Structure 1
Amino acid sequence: MLITPNPCTPEGKAIVNLADQMDALQRRAGEWPGADTATIVEQWLRSFSFEPSGDLPQRVTGRVWMLRQWDRHGEDVTLWSDEASARAALAHEVRKSWDNVGGVEEVPFRPPTDDREAVDLYYGPDGCAHEDEGYSLHVADISRIDGERLSISLADPEGSARANSAALFHPIEGPDDEGLPCIEIAGVLVFAYLDAERQAVRIDVHLDTADEQLVRADGTIPIRIEVEDDTVCSIGATAPAPAHACGACEPDLADVPEQSVTTEGLSTGVDHTQEHTII
């Protein structure tokens, strides 16, 4: 199928320009000499940019503390989930080498029990008091490239498995962080945390950001909650195939002891436009 270039677009205008140059060459030389043709095509190609435009579609999925240590023998880089763990590991290494600095100038013979103080005395406040060894510690983002959108169906085991493998965990920065630890899967946010006010382990399920592929025609999302082996909530979930010839039936919400089910947030169903506390 032949393509007609549109001179109103930059691409189409460039193609028309190339055709004009080749026609002019044909009129001058009666043919397309190889050297002249190569020169025209080279200059024409240089008018294009083949660099990708925009940034990669990426998102931050977590943070990590990067500890780098070096001495005259080489360097070592390790990753830690929090600053305290990184400093504890660094302080452990410092105490193993304390004889190198103990008793020198104002450094005590015995290392302090406080990790930060031990590290600062050994390496100095800036981390490089010694010419041939030092350390650096900083936080870095963990990013992921978001590729093509996943095809998700609750009836498709393979699609569900792909969505499960792409789940994200969003930790909090520390005790002073006002957020809550959260698992994100197919846009569904599940918060699990200790609620001191209610003196209970609390689980919140937020469905307002759920992938639209999970939403049924009636605007709801099937949901099932289990604690250990007990079903405490099952709304719209499909019953599994019978396990035995006698036909094992799906546990019904009515069979669950009343005290084990928190109805807060369930009175409105599981409409994905709402936020719900399931347990």
Structure 2
Amino acid sequence: MLITPDPATPEGEAIIELAEELDALQARTGEWPGADTVDILGDWLSRFTFATSKVLTRQVTGRAWVLRRWDRHDDEVTLWADEASALAALAQHTRSSWDNVAGTDGVPYRPPADDQRAVDLYYGPKGHRGDEGYTLYAEDIARYAHTPRSLSLADDEACAEANSAAVFHPMTGPDDEGLPCIELAGILVFAYLDADMRAVRVSVHLDTADERLAQADGTIPLQVEIEDATVFSTLGARPAPARAPAWKARLRRLTDRTALHSVRVQRKGD
């Protein structure tokens, strides 16, 4: 099978130019002299890059509050899940060092109970305490997601790869208008406490699901279970799996770790 280069593409044009240059060499010398041929090919290959580049999708998987606090003795950076926790840690430090500022520049002798007020009084106006300071800001936690080349519900490896790329989108605070959500292969699963319904509510949205999960009729196979009971399924009658599903083994491991952590906390309390 012969391949005809397309002169409308940069690659095809380059191949045609190479062929013309080699034809001209043969017309001049009656052959392809090795040295001349190597020079021509070297110049031609230098026009190409053979570096492989893969476009990766950046996913924001959460947010961390970065607290940096420094003084004459320490310079430490800690990460916190929310601003209030970071501020509480900073306020705890200011209260333990309150004697450094008590009674100066209108600072009371006892630290206030409010964390923000304690921090503001201790550090004063920006740059006022040259030997101590802090910065507190939010930073996205991100990763590059590797989308499976093939995604099939019948492929264990592809499913495991897609599961490992799942992202949890938490609420940023009580005033956040969003809801906690798990994103998996384009599927959105919301699980939250609904005060209006007075119930734990789970909502599954399939309209943005990866099209490779769809069946011939365009629907996404779905089964919903609570504990060991199937409460909804589009699968129809199917034989029981020959082995325990992987998610049950992972759930048991999570339950065991949680129980072990509770025992350790209880022992520390005793």
User: What TM-score do the two structures reach when normalised by structure 1?
Assistant: 0.68
Partner of 2:167 in structure 1? Answer: 168
Query: 1:231 aligns to what SS in structure 2?
Result: strand
> 1:32/1:139 Cα in 2 relative to 1: closer, same or farther (>3 Å)?
same
Rate the CA distance shift 1:223–1:9 in 2: closer, same or farther, 3 A. closer
In 2, distance between residues paired with 1:123 and 1:116? 11
Aligned residues: 236
Check the 8 A contact 2:148/2:162 in 1, yes or no: no
Alpha carbons of structure 1 residues 215 and 15: separation in structure 2 relative to 1, 3 Å: closer
CA shift at 1:53, angstroms?
A: 9.3
Q: Among all aligned residue pairs of Structure 1 and Structure 2, give the percentage whose two residues are the same amino acid.
A: 58
Structure 1 residue 3: Cα displacement: 9.0
> Is 2:208 the counterpart of 1:192?
no
| Equivalences for residues 1-279 of structure 1 within 5 A | 8-10=8-10, 57-126=57-126, 128-236=127-235, 238-241=238-241
How far apart, CA to CA, are the structure 2 residues paired with 1:12 and 1:150?
28
Q: 1:147 to 1:182 in 2, by over 3 A?
A: same
Gaps of 5+ in 1: 244-279
Deviation of 1:227 (Å)? 2.0
TM-score (norm 2): 0.69
Q: Give the deviation of 1:171 after TM superposition.
A: 1.2
Deviation at 1:78, TM superposition (A): 1.5
**Conserved in 2, the CA contact under 8 Å of 1:152 and 1:214?**
yes
Aligned AA for 1:184?
E
Q: Mean Cα displacement is larger for which, 230-239 or 157-166?
A: 230-239
Which region of structure 1 is more displaced relative to structure 2, 181-190 or 2-11?
2-11
- Residue 253 of structure 2: aligned partner: none
CA-to-aligned-CA distance 1:89-115 (integer Å, 9 cap, x gap)? 111121121121122221112111111
Work out the CA distance in 2 between the residues paired with 1:5 and 1:234: 53
- Distance in 2, matches of 1:58 and 1:72, equals 39
**Could you give the per-residue CA deviations for residues 64-109 of structure 1, whole angstroms, max 9, x where no partner exists?**
2111112223422212121111111111121121121122221112
**SS of residue paired to 1:139:** strand
1:3-48 CA distance string (max 9 Å, x none): 9876654556677889999989xx9xxx9999xx7xx95xx95x88
More displaced 10-residue stretch of structure 1: 223-232 or 77-86? 223-232
Q: Is the 8 A contact 1:224 1:234 kept in 2?
A: yes
How far apart in 1 are the matches of 2:187 and 2:142?
20
Mapped contact 1:221–1:236 kept (Cα < 8 A): no
Report deviation, 1:62: 2.1
- Once the two structures are TM-superposed, the CA of residue 177 in structure 1 deviates from its matched residue by 1.9
Residue aligning to 2:260: none
Change (3 A) 1:215 1:104: same
Higher helix share: 2
Structure 2 vs 1, CA of residues 158 and 16 (structure 1 numbering), >3 Å: closer, same or farther? Answer: closer
CA RMSD of superposed structures (Å): 3.8
